[in-house]
Amino acid sequence: MNNKIYDVIVIGGGPGGYVAAIRASQLGLSVALVEDKHLGGICLNWGCIPTKALLRASEIKHMLDNVNEFGFSVSNIKVDIKKVTERSRKVASQLSAGISHLLKKNKVKVFNGFAEIDKNTDQIKKVKIKSKDGINTELAKNIIIATGAKSRNLPFVKSDGINVWDYKTAMTPQDLPNSLVIIGSGAIGMEFASFYNDLGVKVTVIETLTNILPNEDEDISKIVQNNFIKRGIDIKTNTSLKSVKIDNNSVSSEISTDGIKSLIKSEKLILAVGIIANTQNIGLEKFNIKIDKGHIVTNEYLETDEKGIYAIGDVTGGPWLAHKASHEAILCVEKIAGLSNLTPLDKSSIPGCTYCRPQVASIGLTEKAAKIKNINIKVGKFPFIGNGKAIALGDSEGLIKTIFNNDTGELVGAHMVGPEVTELIQGFSIAKKLETTEHELMHTIFPHPTLSEGMHESVLDAYNQAIHY
């Protein structure tokens, strides 16, 4: 142990951790970051980024299968899954190296190893770092826990990397399976369903709730479900997985739909049933830190009940999104640095995106949630079939739905499914942040021809003024 006392030690180098370290350095704080695997965390190495590279490949396959609509003819299309996954891994490696450069540029000391926090004095904490070279101890005035999360298993089945896959195995298949069952229809499950279906795999999705993408507005999830069914994906809602048997590299899944049991056989099974926060073996039990449903509890500025110890990202409460973690990182560090006029995170203003085909994006309350809150609402809808740019692109399936408070004009929620909506949602994010009313949105000039015109029309429709629908 040396005599240096860091202002901040960040544990975890994901989209929360590395952003916290860089912002702390920008504010003049002395910073160290500890990462035991890969800079960039799950998001950059095994989640957000490489999955988008995979999905881009499957989208290209879909486009090639349908180029005749645009006047081209292509034959003998083949998929080399090893090259597809190889490109995905290269994208992740390139960005991970970029994070290393950014940390170095911002004079953040990086330790490679596994961190465990320990008590020292009321003002100073210890961080023990275990690496291949042994154990060393560093001191810090403040600690930010950004250890992320890992995929969840079920009590009776867990990933074995051969027949039962987690997201890591599903991203690096050696060969394409003939058939695949996916347990869970959240964003991860839907993206894998879309990817493998476009590459010719027979896909079945199992969801315990009534709708797939259960966190999305029902109108949106129904459009995705209908699209998937048309593509040949078998969707089984109100269905639970009861048991799994593996025999001769074949997976037999016993399921129950509305109390009726049946058996599905597949070559592989993907578990996409949520995450578990990485809180084990990092020393939390030595401090006054609350855990609720497996996640660290913090106040609005991400501080735990132990003064000087903060937690951000997936190790805390949901939604479990990379951009939420990065935003929490900035807020947390600016609080440590003593900046004033800070605005706590408003979870209702966090956009969510799912990159399946068709894409899904949303922000704020669903129509059902708004009604439960007894908000007097006006709802607007505009289908992409009425949008000239979408028709020209040959991708006109989808809908933009906006929900307003009829008493105040506040944008309560926006929900989108269709072409490039994950890029469009930021428009509604800005509108919500600026507390824009329906009047201001209705009198905003949207360029033509663009997909964004559908956003304008949806707002107009909420007030019975839509022009093209």
| Contact yes or no for 137/127 (Cβ under 8 A) | yes
448 is catalytic: yes
Residue 214: name the closest of 206, 107, 428 by CA. 206
Phi/psi of residue 428, nearest 5 degrees: -75, -30
| Contact yes or no for 447/437 (Cβ under 8 A) | no
Strand, coil or helix: 363: strand
Encoded amino acid at 339, one letter: L
DSSP characters over 382-436: EEGGG-HHHHHHT----EEEEEEETTT-BEEEEEEEETTHHHHHHHHHHHHHTT-
Phi/psi of residue 311, nearest 5 degrees: -145, 140
Residue keyed to tokens 């090893």: 82
Rounded Cα distance between 252 and 202, Å, is 15
Which is the catalytic residue, given 38, 62, 439, 448? 448
Burial class (CB in 10 A: 0-12, 13-18, 19+), 243: middle
Calculate Rg over the CA atoms of the chain.
Answer: 24
**What residues act catalytically?**
448
